[in-house]
A and B are shown apart, each in its own frame.
Chain A
Amino acid sequence: MLTIRWLWYILLSCYLAFASMGISAQEKTGNREGFELEPGSVRIALLEPSVRVGSQSTGGMFEPNADWTEQAKENLEAELARKQELLGNEIVRLSLDNVPQNRELVQYHALFGAVASSVIEYQFFPGNRLPTKKKSKAFEWSVGPGLADIESLNGFDYILLIRTKDAYGSTGRKLLQVAGLLGAVAGFGTAVQSGEHIGMAGLVDVKTGDLVWLNADLAMGGDVRKVEGAEKRVRQLLEGFPGSSDSEN
C-alpha cells in the first residue's frame, strides 16, 4: 500500500534524476552526412546575427539589457572572426536590408528560421524524432538550390546563422522551477525554466541550400555578461564547426 511518504520519496528521486540530466535529454549538433569543410578555403556570409541578453522575472518576462547585449554582440563577432581566421576562412557580415534582391533574401531568412525550428524540435529531442530520418538520412534539411540565385550572395560559399538569447533568472523563478518540476514529474504540469540560455548556430551551403551543420543548445553555458563568459559561449556555439579541430567529422 503506497503512502504519501512513499510518493514523496519517489517524486524527490525523480526530481534529482531530472535535475542531473536536464529536463529532457537533448542533443546539440547535427551534420549532413559526408559533409566536409576544407579550412582556409571559404568565404562565409554572417547573416544578421540575433543576440539578445537580459534578465527574466519570475513571471518569465524578458527584460532586455543593453549593456549586456552590446557586450555579448562585440564578443560574439570578435570571437567568430578570430576562430574563422584560425581556420583561414573569411567571414563577412551581411545585412538583410539595402542589398540586391533583399525581398528574396528576407524570405530565405524566414525559411532558415523554420528549418532551424524543425531541426531543433524534431531532431534534437530523441523523444520527438521523426522515424523517417534515420542514420544517414538523419540530417537532411535544405532550403533548395534557388538560394544560389540571390545576387547578394554572390561570392559567398556559406551562410552562417547565429541566434542567442539569454534571460538570467531571478530567485523567485528558481523556486517556481522546483514546484513546476514536481508537477511535471507527476504526469501533469509545466516544467518551468529558470533563466533561459538558448543558442543556435547554423551553416548553409549557398550552392545547394543544404543546411550542412547546426548546433543548438537550449541550456548553454558561459555567462555572456562577462568577456570570458561570452568567449566561452561562442566557443560552445561553434563547437564542432566543420573543419575545426573539435569537429565531430
Chain B
Amino acid sequence: MWLKLFAAILTASIAAPTVAAEPEALPPYVPAYDPTTVDERGLWNQADELELLYKRSEHLIEDEELNAFVRRILCNTVGNDRCDGVRIYILNVPAFNASMMPNGAMAVWSGLLLRLRSEANLASVLAHEFAHFELRHNLQGFKNRRSASDMLAWTVVLGNAAAVDTRNSQISLFGSIFRFNRNMERQADLLALQYLKQSPYPSRASSQVWQYLMEEADARAAGRKIRRKDRYRAGFFDTHPTSLDRADYLLEKSMEYGDTGNAEQTAYFDAIQPWLPKLLADQVRLNDFGGTEYLLGNIAGVTGWTPELVLARAELYATRGKPRDLITATTLYLDAIDKGHETSEVLRGLGLSLVKSGRRKEGAEYLGRYLAQNPDAPDAAIIKMYVPKGDE
C-alpha cells in the first residue's frame, strides 16, 4: 500500500515554482517551513502519515552504516544546514526511485544503489530531489494535474466498454498523471547542478545518471523485444520523464560550468560492497535478463569482474536456463571458483546446472562439495537427491 501512497506523495509534492529564471547562485536557505494554506497542510499531514508508514515498514533498511553513507553524500552536496532538515529512509525495493516529501522525509529505494557508479551519481540524485523541496514547490502543479486525471477517468470507463484490460491501462495511464512538465524537472535539474558545482563532485555526474537509466531501459526492452517508442515510459520514467534532450542539456550545462572533481567511484563501491550480494540476488530474480546483464557489465566496468559479479551473471544465465545458457552459466560458475570464490551459491548453482545439462556425475561432485561445506543448509535434503550414495 505504501508503494501507491509513495507515488501519490511523490507527485503531489512537486509543482511548478513561481520563479521562471534559472537560479544563478544558491538561494539563502530558510530552514523552517510551515505549510500555510489549507491544501499545503493537507499534503503535509499526508506526508507525515506516509512517513510513519516508512518508519514501521517491514521493508525499511535500518543498517546504520548504509544510512550514514547516504546521509554523508547528501550533506557533502547540499551542505549541513540543508541536510539537517532531512530524514532519510532507505527501502528494500529492487528498483530505481527516490523522492522527497514536503515535510522533509526523503525515501530512497535500494535498487538505485545498483544503478549508480559513483558517489557523484548518488549526489546528483539526492540533490535533484532536494531541489524540488528547496524550491518550495507549492500546489500549483497538484491542481494542474487534476485535469489530466479527469481525462483518465473517462478513459477507464470507455476502456471497459471496449473490453480492454482495465487494470493494466489504469496502471500505465495513472502513471501519466504524474508526468511533470519539462519546466518543473528542468528547474530541479538546474538547481541540483548548482549544488554539485559547489560540492567536491563533478556536475557531469547528473547527466550520466540519465544516460545509465536510458541504456538500461534499452537493454531491458531489447531483451523483451519491445519497440523503441515504448521504452522510456514505465516505472521511474513515469514520474521523471526523460529524453536524450535531458541528458544533453545537463551535460551541456555542466560543461559550461567546467567544474571538475573526483566522482569517487571506488569509494562508492567500497561503501555498498556489504550489500552487493543481496542487491544482485534481488535483481537477478526479477526476470529482466537484458536490464540485469547491462547493470552487471557496467558495475564490472568500475570494479572489474569481481567474484560476486561473476556469480550474479552465472545465476542470471542459470535461471533463464536454455541449453546454451546452462553452458554459459557453468563456465561462469567455474570462473568464480577460479577466483577463489567457492561459496555455497557457486557450488549449488554449478552442480545443478551440470545436472540439468545432462552431466549428472560432474554435477553430483559439486553438489557433494556443497553438502560437505553446508551440512545444515535448508535445502540439504533435496540436494542430496542428486548426489547418489557412494559418490561422497
So, do A and B actually touch in the complex, CB under 8 Å? yes
- Chain A residues in the interface with B (C-beta under 8 A): 50, 52, 54, 57-67, 69, 96-97, 106, 172-173, 176, 179-180, 183, 188-190, 192
- At the interface, is chain B mostly helix, strand, loop or mixed? helix
Contact of A61 with B45 in the complex, beta carbons under 8 Å: no
Contact of A183 with B177 in the complex, beta carbons under 8 Å: no
> What are some 9 contacts across the A-B interface (CB < 8 A)?
A58-B153, A63-B39, A64-B42, A64-B45, A66-B35, A180-B157, A183-B160, A189-B157, A190-B157
Contact of B153 with A173 in the complex, beta carbons under 8 Å: yes
Count chain B CB atoms within 10 A of each CB in A50, A64, A65, A179 and give the residue with the most. Answer: A64
Is B384 in the interface zone, CB < 8 Å from A?
Answer: no
- Encode contact with A along B213-241: 1 for CB under 8 Å, 0 otherwise: 00000000000000000000000000000
Contact of B56 with A59 in the complex, beta carbons under 8 Å: no
- Please indicate the chain A residues that have their CB under 8 angstroms from the CB of B153 in the complex: 58-60, 173, 176, 192
- Chain B residues in the interface with A (C-beta under 8 A): 8, 35, 38-46, 49, 52, 55-56, 142, 145-146, 148-154, 156-157, 160-161, 163, 166, 177
Count chain A CB atoms within 10 A of each CB in B56, B145, B153 and give the residue with the most. Answer: B153
- Please indicate the chain B residues that have their CB under 8 angstroms from the CB of A57 in the complex: 146, 149-150
Contact of B148 with A176 in the complex, beta carbons under 8 Å: no
- Please indicate the chain A residues that have their CB under 8 angstroms from the CB of B38 in the complex: 65-67
Contact of A189 with B160 in the complex, beta carbons under 8 Å: yes
Assuming A58-B153, A59-B153, is B42 touching A183 (CB within 8 A)?
Answer: no
Give the contacting residue for B149; candidates A60, A66, A67, A179; CB below 8 A: A60
State A63–B141 Cα separation when bound (angstroms).
13
Contact of A54 with B160 in the complex, beta carbons under 8 Å: no
Q: A106 — nearest CB in chain B belongs to which residue?
A: B56
- Smallest CB separation, A95 vs chain B (Å): 10
Q: A-B pairs with the 5 shortest C-beta distances?
A: A59-B149, A66-B41, A64-B42, A58-B150, A66-B42
Contact of B157 with A183 in the complex, beta carbons under 8 Å: yes
Contact of B56 with A96 in the complex, beta carbons under 8 Å: yes
- Smallest CB separation, B4 vs chain A (Å): 11
- Please indicate the chain B residues that have their CB under 8 angstroms from the CB of A50 in the complex: 49
Contact of B150 with A190 in the complex, beta carbons under 8 Å: no
State A66–B152 Cα separation when bound (angstroms).
26
- Please indicate the chain A residues that have their CB under 8 angstroms from the CB of B44 in the complex: 66
- Smallest CB separation, A150 vs chain B (Å): 15
State A188–B156 Cα separation when bound (angstroms).
12
State A75–B43 Cα separation when bound (angstroms).
21
Contact of B151 with A59 in the complex, beta carbons under 8 Å: yes
Contact of A192 with B151 in the complex, beta carbons under 8 Å: no
Assuming A59-B146, A173-B153, A176-B157, is B56 touching A66 (CB within 8 A)?
Answer: no
State A192–B150 Cα separation when bound (angstroms).
13
- Please indicate the chain B residues that have their CB under 8 angstroms from the CB of A61 in the complex: 145-146, 149, 177
State A59–B160 Cα separation when bound (angstroms).
15
Assuming A66-B42, A66-B45, is B150 touching A183 (CB within 8 A)?
Answer: no
- Smallest CB separation, A126 vs chain B (Å): 24
Assuming A65-B38, A65-B39, is B55 touching A189 (CB within 8 A)?
Answer: no
- Please indicate the chain A residues that have their CB under 8 angstroms from the CB of B149 in the complex: 57-61
Assuming A176-B154, A183-B161, is B142 touching A63 (CB within 8 A)?
Answer: yes
- Please indicate the chain B residues that have their CB under 8 angstroms from the CB of A63 in the complex: 39, 42, 142, 146
- Please indicate the chain A residues that have their CB under 8 angstroms from the CB of B142 in the complex: 63
Contact of A59 with B150 in the complex, beta carbons under 8 Å: yes
- Please indicate the chain A residues that have their CB under 8 angstroms from the CB of B166 in the complex: 190
